[in-house]
Amino acid sequence: MSRLMVIGSINLDLVLETVTLPSPGETVLGGTFSRINGGKGANQAVASARGGSSDSPNVAFLAAVGDDDFGHRVVQDYQNEPHLDASLIVKKKGFATGVAAIFVDQQAENMICVAPGANAALSVADVEGLVNEEFENLAVLLASLEVPLDTIHAAVKRSKAGGATIILNPAPVVPGLAEHGVMNDVDILTPNEHEACQLSGIEIQDVASAVEAARVIIRQFGIAIVVVTMGSEGVVVIDGEGSFFEVTAPQVDAVDTTAAGDCFNGVLAAQLASGAVFSEAVALAVQAASLSVTRRGAQTSLPAIAEFSGHSTN
């Protein structure tokens, strides 16, 4: 059985690369168009499947798609992804598969608008309908927030009952998250600077403010470890004892940052599920994310472990 489960969204990314991002009301001509599999959950699941040890068991992926052409296409792709178990993907009749419209400019900045479709229909009943064996052997559950909070919480509770470590990537910070019980069951929280600011009320400008924000989050929710991802600056890790360490990112020529955070989370989860020491898992995840931004697209940018495992740093 799987040692790692990922629960989250599946989208088909409709990507337009252009010279500059449009302002409200502005039309920007030119650019190239492509369709790429995406969604935070799917990106993290694929990153996990590619970023674990070579002998790791399959990554179980719990998600939903619509009963439409987009859904059939992406499920087939995930069935063909090595080390990814797509058997838990639910097809929802009457719903469209989630779609993300993504604009990327020449400075690798992006704008994203998401129509959730079937992602919003992934239900508590879908989680409760899974057999106990799906949760009994889990080492890690990785969740992100493009599916309903109550559904996430149902998976968290079943996973935690079996002894799994819970990693929550609070992306996006949805309304009601701070008041929801799911936050009290999280072991490792992985916000970026903006999400950490939303949860703590502290604007993050540097390492010191990231540490301050993380300590507020730890006190508020009782989370053991907060990892604040800071883009090209790397990450800051803070624990409940008040100590912290940094992992700096290597300098690279970024062309597209679309799935960098998902890459970090997926590789972190995969390495922890494989038994890696926490600091080494973080360092490998930073290396993988840094490599991903040198490539275009979401899942097309996610590296295999052989591409980054020989270059980790602390």
Enumerate the active-site residues: 262
Please report, for residues 80, 92, 186, 254, 266, the alpha-carbon distance to residue 250 in angstroms, rounded to integers and kept in the order given.
Answer: 32, 42, 29, 11, 19
Q: How far is the C-alpha of 61 from the C-alpha of 87, rounded, in Å? A: 8
Q: At 231, is the secondary structure helix, strand, or coil?
A: helix
Contact indicator for 289, 303 with CB cutoff of 8 Å: no
C-alpha–C-alpha distance, residues 141 and 89, integer Å: 16
Contacts of 254 (CB under 8 A, 6+ apart): 108, 232, 293, 294
Residue 235: CB atoms within 10 A of its CB come to 24
CB crowding 267-299: b at 16 or more within 10 Å, else e: bbbbbbbbebebeebbbbbbbbbbbbbebbbbb
Range list of H helices, the chain: 40-51, 69-79, 124-128, 133-136, 149-161, 193-200, 207-221, 260-273, 278-292
Rounded Cα distance, 196 and 189, in Å: 10
Amino acid in the structure at residue 75? V
The token pair that represents 155 in the structure block: 């998976």
Residue 103: partners with Cβ closer than 8 Å, 6 or more residues away:
16, 18, 21, 22, 110, 111, 112
Whether cis (ω within 30° of 0) applies to the bond prior to 57 is no
End-to-end CA distance of the chain: 32
